[in-house]
């Protein structure tokens, strides 16, 4: 009979990015789709959201009243939610917060624990030296803020960069941040996770809730929801503006309602916005523009999650049908999808 592995849960709470923590979560035998309704593990969703929100405000999350299992599970759940927001600043804040905590914990750890962490992070320190290839990967971000970390300012011998204890700590912290920031597959993540991520994004970005009678906001694809949050925060690209405009135009919203949507933009100018919408809608030109496909939106870097569809209009239409609702002027939506 296979012996069940004993885990040091307090250790995994401190270093939840380790493979051992991943093994422990797997041993819980719970699927993502089961978490929300689980009598115990559902608490990990709330805690995960708090971890992200606290990180955004540079606060430490209090785990003192939580079960160790919930705390450990909340880390991968938080990573998923942070990725689903489609907001790089949120993900970086979350990763940086965990990296700082790791740095604090490692100060009091014996050498064997430090070696365990650095080995898993593939840092390959050799005493007070690290190979320049590893150094360049870790120091790239640090060098932007501290010229000490520029390779031109380091002593190099035999391909190795000499480092002091302070440098070593900074490089470990950066390695943890990079590991947590790595993109993860969110293709099969439950819909309720996406809803929670959208709310987190809106709360952090200060986004306003969409209130347009002709749109069912619950049926909006994640990319559109994310772009609306960016619109409300003022951090929105030209490509985002084009996607949003054509998406709502192809849903056959009237011009006034589309302009109303764009009014959440901090630098909103009604005259310019109306002209822009009317031009794309074909009322001021001979061309009615269509909303880009998912492939194009991905190429813009605006796709926060793989929804398994090829067009955002397809996502909206499917969600509306699931709820028994009809999409206004479905004929035009289908024409766009068939192109």
Q: Which two tokens stand for residue 239?
A: 């490509």
Is there a contact between 264 and 209 (Cβ–Cβ < 8 Å)? no
Rounded distance between C-alpha atoms, residue 295 and residue 89, angstroms: 23
Q: List Cβ neighbours of 312 (8 Å cut-off, separation of 6 or more).
A: 221, 223, 224, 243, 247, 291, 294, 297
Mean pLDDT of 129-155: 85
Mean pLDDT for the chain overall: 85
Q: Shortest CA distance to 35 belongs to which of 76, 90, 87? A: 76
Look at the alpha carbons of 253, 257, 262, 268 in this order and tell me if their dihedral is positive or negative: positive
Phi, psi of 210 (to 5 degrees): -70, 130
First to last CA, the chain: 59
| Neighbour count for residue 154 (Cβ, 10 Å) | 16
Q: For the ranges 126-140, 300-314, 316-330, which has the lowest average pLDDT? A: 316-330
Question: E strands within the chain?
Answer: 129-131, 156-157, 160-162
pLDDT bin (cut points 50, 70, 90) of residue 41 is very high
Mean pLDDT of 217-243: 85
- Return the SS3 of 203: helix
Report which of residues 8 and 111 the model is more confident about: 8
Any idea where the domains of the chain sit in the sequence? 9-97, 104-181, 206-337
pLDDT value at residue 279: 92
Mean pLDDT of 281-288: 85
Is a pLDDT exceeding 60 seen at residue 63? Answer: yes
Q: Shortest CA distance to 227 belongs to which of 91, 87, 53? A: 87
Residue with tokens 């190979």: 131
Mean pLDDT of 312-330: 74
Mean pLDDT of 4-33: 92
Is a pLDDT exceeding 50 seen at residue 144? Answer: yes
Rounded distance between C-alpha atoms, residue 268 and residue 259, angstroms: 9
pLDDT value at residue 213: 55
Is there a contact between 315 and 307 (Cβ–Cβ < 8 Å)? yes
Number of H helices, E strands in the chain: 17, 3
Q: Shortest CA distance to 89 belongs to which of 140, 45, 52? A: 52
Report which of residues 29 and 108 the model is more confident about: 29
Q: Shortest CA distance to 85 belongs to which of 42, 51, 41? A: 51
pLDDT value at residue 9: 94
Is there a contact between 302 and 244 (Cβ–Cβ < 8 Å)? no
Residue with tokens 């650095």: 118
Mean pLDDT of 259-281: 87
Is a pLDDT exceeding 90 seen at residue 24? Answer: yes
């Amino acid at each position: 009979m296979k012996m069940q592995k004993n885990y040091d849960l307090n250790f995994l709470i401190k270093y939840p990015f380790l493979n051992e923590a991943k093994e422990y979560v797997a041993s819980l035998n719970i699927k993502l789709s089961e978490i929300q309704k689980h009598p115990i593990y559902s608490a990990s969703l709330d805690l995960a959201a708090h971890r992200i929100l606290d990180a955004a405000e540079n606060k430490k999350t209090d785990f003192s009243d939580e079960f160790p299992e919930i705390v450990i599970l909340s880390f991968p759940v938080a990573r998923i939610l942070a990725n689903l927001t489609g907001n790089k600043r949120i993900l970086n804040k979350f990763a940086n917060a965990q990296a700082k905590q790791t740095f604090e914990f490692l100060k009091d750890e014996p050498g064997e624990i430090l070696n365990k962490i650095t080995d898993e992070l593939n840092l390959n320190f050799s005493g007070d030296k690290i190979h320049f290839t590893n150094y360049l990967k870790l120091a790239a971000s640090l060098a932007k803020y501290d010229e000490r970390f520029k390779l031109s300012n380091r002593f190099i011998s035999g391909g190795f960069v000499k480092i002091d204890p302070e440098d070593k700590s900074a490089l470990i912290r950066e390695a943890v941040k990079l590991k947590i920031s790595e993109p993860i597959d969110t293709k099969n993540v439950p819909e309720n996770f996406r809803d929670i991520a959208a709310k987190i994004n809106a709360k952090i970005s200060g986004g306003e809730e969409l209130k347009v009678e002709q749109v069912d906001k619950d049926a909006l694809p994640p990319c559109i929801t994310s772009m609306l949050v960016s619109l409300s925060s003022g951090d929105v690209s030209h490509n985002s503006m084009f996607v949003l405009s054509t998406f709502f135009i192809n849903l056959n919203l009237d011009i006034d309602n589309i302009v109303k949507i764009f009014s959440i933009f901090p630098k909103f100018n009604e005259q310019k916005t109306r002209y822009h919408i009317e031009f794309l809608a074909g009322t001021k030109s001979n061309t009615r523009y269509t909303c880009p496909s998912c492939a194009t939106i991905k190429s813009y870097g605006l796709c926060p999650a793989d929804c398994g569809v090829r067009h955002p209009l397809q996502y909206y239409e499917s969600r509306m049908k699931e709820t028994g609702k009809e999409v206004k002027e479905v004929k035009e939506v289908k024409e766009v999808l068939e192109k």
